[in-house]
Amino acid sequence: EPEVTQTPSHQVTQMGQEVILRCVPISNHLYFYWYRQILGQKVEFLVSFYNNEISEKSEIFDDQFSVERPDGSNFTLKIRSTKLEDSAMYFCASRVTGGESNQPQHFGDGTRLSIL
């Protein structure tokens, strides 16, 4: 069964550095998402992306964050000038269609980001 794949599985970075988290969504999916989960807390929505632009973003997704689909397969989340509180699991998800469809989102296994 097709999967969403994320790399790296664990990223350790010094505070203030930039990180790029990578995702390969399922190939025929059109809608892409990033979520994060701070240890012991809920999964939280960051941003959704469709047709090469951001559809929606949450309050968490400030100017420090950006997303890109640089080619036909990858979907990236960039965090500039990382802070200690950015330490979390970051999950990528994709969905085949949006609108008023009942297709679920499929999640990758995440990247654990540790900011030192």
Partner 1 sequence: SQKIEQNSEALNIQEGKTATLTCNYTNYSPAYLQWYRQDPGRGPVFLLLIRENEKEKRKERLKVTFDTTLKQSLFHITASQPADSATYLCALETFAGRRALTFGSGTRLQVQP
Residue of the chain from 45, 60, 76, 96 that contacts partner 1 (CB under 8 A): 45
3-class secondary-structure state, position 82: coil
Residue 33: both structure tokens together: 């998402």
Contact between 96 and partner 1 by CB under 8 A: the answer reads no
42 binds partner 1 (CB under 8 A): yes
Query: For partner 1, which residue of 13, 22, 30, 44 counts as binding (CB under 8 A)?
Result: 44
Question: Considering the rule CB under 8 A, would residue 33 count as an interface residue with partner 1?
Answer: yes
Asked whether position 107 contacts partner 1 by CB under 8 A, the answer is yes
Least CB distance to partner 1 at residue 16 (A): 27
- Length in residues, the chain: 116
Interface with partner 1 (CB under 8 A), residue total 27
The answer to the question of residue 18 lying near partner 1 (CB under 8 A) is: no
Q: Are 20 and 34 in contact (CB under 8 A)?
A: no
Give the whole-angstrom CA distance, residue 93 versus residue 31.
8
Contact by Cβ (8 Å): 86, 111: no
